[in-house]
Structure 1
Amino acid sequence: MPKVLPEYHEQARKKIIAAGLEVMSKKGYQTTTMDDIAGYVGVSKTTLYLYFKNKDDLVVEIVKDVHQKIQDTAIDLFHTESTLDAYTGLLDLFLKWDLNRIGLNFDILALVTRSEVLRINYEEHMNAVIERATFGIICLQKKGKARQDVDAKTLAISMIFLMNGVTNLILKGMSREEIRARYHEMGKVILGFDDSEVSSTDA
């Protein structure tokens, strides 16, 4: 059996993860089969099992991949944009989701309650998000650029809660433009920014 170069293995793995996200978004987690994903990628199901033990194993890697992309975007935004603009930039990631993708997100959240591996992964991700957001707001408070009357972790969690509620507003029928505008205004209230601070970089 010929050896597979590590670079090719990782490339194929990423392709399968992307395909899994695409197919599950269209069909939903429950009705998607490994055959569906193999057909989308253009490989045999046997080949798929060389990379992932089963569908749940693939979902774990999809969640990790999505979380990593959000984290990478956050690092970039918070180094280049003002704090509120960075939070709003992260919101834009969720506003790009169509109804199928939102449906898959709810499917995965349901799986988190039943899968220990997924739950641990999700908890680690959320704890890291809260920790980084809290640290960022502490830095702003020290510079006098965020409200001082509320502790930093509460402010960070408030912004994260707002972001996580976006999909419900989309399902409610609110336009993405209105969601974005209202999120930006609510962020100003939560963080205690005035208009001059919103438009300037916090670095």
Structure 2
Amino acid sequence: MPKVVPEYKEEAKRRIIDAAMEVIAERGCDQLTFDYVAEKIGVTKGAVYWYFKTKDELITAVMKKFQSEFERINFDSFYNRPIDEMFLQIFNKFSLTDHRQRAVFFEMFAMAVRNLELRRSTRDYYASLITTFEDAVKKEQKQNPKRNQMDSHKVALLMVALYSGLQNFELVWMCQDEMKELWLDGIRLLFNPLDDEISDMKKKSDKKTNEKKT
């Protein structure tokens, strides 16, 4: 048997995973087959089986590709900026702006309900998101000690929930600009102390009351 060069093996796997993403985006996970994948890259079905023994194994590799691409992002340059700018930059990096990426991601998410291995990969992906947001919150707390009373982990969870919800909205009806505006509104609500918000509302209410009296 000829020796397989490691670099060639990794390149072959990458091409198969990319082809699988295209098939999933076009047909959905249910119709992902090794025949379709092989046809995309012009190889035999046996060549695909050489690297991935089952469909579930290939689907899990697709999800891990999302995670590995996310982990390669360097967020250090985003810190030490105004809070709105910092979190907008992070949001832009996370956003699935490519239609194919969005279609594949939500197919993966739906399949994770029935697939234990894929559910673990999806959980790892979200854990990475939470860790990144939590690090950003902690850096913001160092710059603004008045925010130290915030629970950085809970705030990070809320931010990931907001991010995920906005991605869902974009899938069906919301444009990118609207998403960014809502994202920044959400960040401001999370980081501005609630008592300040209530105080402002009370001042406005009192002002209106006084105006009516006069």
Q: Tell me whether the two structures share a fold, i.e. TM-score over 0.5.
A: yes
Equivalent residue of 2:68, what SS? Answer: helix
Q: Which residue of 2 aligns with 1:69?
A: 69
CA-based RMSD: 2.3
Percent identity over paired residues: 26
Residues 64, 121 of structure 1: 8 Å contact kept: yes
Q: Mark the CA change 1:26 to 1:86 in structure 2 (over 3 Å): closer, same or farther.
A: farther
In structure 2, the gaps of 5 or more residues are 194-214
CA distance in structure 2 between the partners assigned to 1:186 and 1:163 by the alignment: 10
Residues 101 and 129 of structure 1: is their aligned pair in 2 closer, same or farther, counting only changes over 3 Å?
closer
**Residues 24, 107 of structure 2: 8 Å contact kept:** no
Residue 201 of structure 2 aligns with which residue?
none
Distance of 1:87 and 1:103 partners within structure 2 = 24
Instruction: Report how many aligned residue pairs link the two structures.
Output: 189
Could you tell me which residue of structure 2 aligns to residue 96 of structure 1? 97
With the length of structure 2 as denominator, give the TM-score of the two structures: 0.78
| Structure 2 residue aligned with 1:52 | 52
- What is the distance in 2 between the residues matched to 1:161 and 1:137? 15
Q: Look at both structures and tell me which one has the larger radius of gyration over its CA atoms.
A: 2
Give the helix-richer structure, 1 or 2.
2
Partner of residue 199, structure 1: none
Tell me what 2:148 maps to. 148
Cα distance in 1 for partners of 2:141, 2:182 equals: 23
Kindly provide the amino acid, as one letter, of the partner of residue 23 in structure 1. V
**Conserved 8 A contact 1:95-1:176:** no
Mark the CA change 1:146 to 1:132 in structure 2 (over 3 Å): closer, same or farther: farther
1:86 Cα deviation after fit: 4.5
CA distance in 2 between partners of 1:122 and 1:164 (Å) = 13
TM-score of the superposition, structure 1-length normalised?
Answer: 0.82
Paired with 1:30 and 1:153, the residues of 2 have a C-alpha distance of 36
Q: Distance in 1 between matches of 2:150 and 2:109?
A: 30
Which one has more relative contact order, counting CA pairs under 8 Å at least 6 apart? 1
**How much does 1:101 deviate?**
4.2
Q: In the alignment, which of 52, 59, 80 is matched to residue 77 of structure 2?
A: 80
- C-alpha separation between the residues in 1 aligned to 2:163 and 2:23? 25
Which whole-Å deviations, capped at 9, do the CAs of 1:8-55 have from their partners, x for residues lacking one?
100111111111112211111112211111110111100000110122
| 1:38 match | 38
CA contact (8 A) 1:146 1:191 kept: no
Match of 1:197 in 2: none
Q: How far did 1:190 drift?
A: 1.8
Structure 1: 5+ residue stretches without partners: 194-203
